[in-house]
Amino acid sequence: MAISNTKTKKNIVIAGAGIVGASIGFNLSQRSNINLTLIDIDIPGQGASKHSFAWLNSYYKMPEHYWHLNKMSMDMWHRFASELGNDVGLVVGGDIRWVKTKKDADDLITKVNKMQSLGYKCNLIDRDELQALEPNLHIDEFEIGYYGANDAHVEPLKVIDACLGKIRDNGGTFLPNTSIDQLILENGIVTGVNTSKGIIECDTFVIAAGTGTPSLASLAGINIPLVESPGSGAKTLKIPPLLNTAALIHLPAIDKNNGQLHVRQFSDGSLMIGEGSQESVSNDDSNEHALNLLERARHYLPIPNVDVAPMGIGYRPMPADGLPIVGFSDQVPNMYIAVTHSGVTLSPVLGTYASMEILDEQKVDYLENYRLERFLDGEGEIIFHGKDQRLDVWSRKLGYNKDS
């Protein structure tokens, strides 16, 4: 095993200053004898991090190994926030939701039973318990409710700013508005990054660029299977505190023509409203849609008259099987990939373990299910293994043939 505190400094370049790249950079910057450069094509956090609902959770995130990874990261968030030393908007109040039909109740009971068996702090609640937790709620039809007490939310841009501040304090460099035009490859490894601001030498190249990861990896001939996953939402101006207990609340559909909503409130008083689940696809960023979301939320919550605006369309970095892609590439041994959905929840654990793998040359067992090579054949072409229906659907969307 290599030791990082040798006499020769290691040059590490990270592409991507979203919450995952910033967390990896922060963790690396705490180690000695490295020259760290973090690059972003824009200003920090303008991709998925900007549009994220930033719900910290492990709500029925199957398979079990993925559930455990998310739960592990949730447990790291308090220390992560403390190490950053800034207010990052961390609010722990739990996730509250309820369902209106017997079918949905059966599904919720099954999920809660499974999560409780794994040790997740959650429980079913009745109408009175729900009303006691959130007195402002208007509850119409009700079959059964849910309370996940440890769920939380943060403000990703504050987290990123705090990480970048620590990186600079620890001697690292951040280059915003910087494009990467070429990777300099020698004997199959990346020795330099040709950017719009010049060439930067590197011993390790980390790609944590969200939806930009495939294009950067392709500069070295590496395929990264992501699927298009747009999401949209709305945000209001400042209003008085709305929720009594919960960090966020999931509101059931008001009728068959509309989906469920999820609502959270930021520290500045603004309200964020999203539609569907955290993985739902939506590309409507019109003012009319934002007003519609607000009116639907008002069915359940006493939201005062307030201006609301669309947040724009954010594209989630969604790997083709829905699970993270993390680790060094077998094709280019000094290129480290870190791309995932649920990046806000997972940023503490990925930052911690990626820095260990990068500097200590130690593979972390908890990440073994998330290597890029699960998608690739021996020649680096994308294939899909297993019989997961999601893979079949997503592979067709991408135009890949599992059997070719």
Domain boundaries, the chain: 10-50+156-228+318-398, 91-152+230-315
Q: Structure tokens of 215?
A: 């294009």
Residue 372 has pLDDT above 70, yes or no: yes
CB 148 within 8 A of CB 94: yes
Strands 204-207 and 335-339: parallel
Which among 225, 341, 224, 325 has a CA at the least distance from the CA of 277? 341
Which among 117, 108, 112, 119 has a CA at the least distance from the CA of 75? 119
Percent of the chain exceeding pLDDT 90 equals: 79
What integer pLDDT is reported at residue 47 of this predicted model? 79
What integer pLDDT is reported at residue 378 of this predicted model? 66
Sign of the torsion angle spanned by Cα atoms 352, 355, 358, 362: negative
- The more confidently predicted of residues 279 and 138 is 138
Report which DSSP code applies to 302. -
- The more confidently predicted of residues 3 and 219 is 219
- Mean pLDDT of the chain, nearest integer: 90
| pLDDT-wise least confident of 30-44, 81-95, 104-118, 376-390 | 376-390
What integer pLDDT is reported at residue 314 of this predicted model? 79
Domains 10-50+156-228+318-398 and 91-152+230-315 share a fold: no
CB 296 within 8 A of CB 261: yes
**What is the CATH number assigned to the segment(s) 10-50+156-228+318-398?**
3.50.50.60
- Binning pLDDT at 50, 70 and 90, where does residue 46 land? confident
Q: What is the largest CA-CA distance in the chain?
A: 67
Mean pLDDT of 331-350: 97
CA distance 56 to 75: 10
Residue range 280-317, pLDDT digits in tens:
556 788 999 999 999 999 999 999 999 999 888 878 89
Helix or strand holding residue 162 (H, E): helix 156-169
Residue range 196-245, pLDDT digits in tens:
999 999 999 999 999 999 999 999 999 999 988 888 889 999 999 999 99
**What is the CATH number assigned to the segment(s) 91-152+230-315?**
3.30.9.10
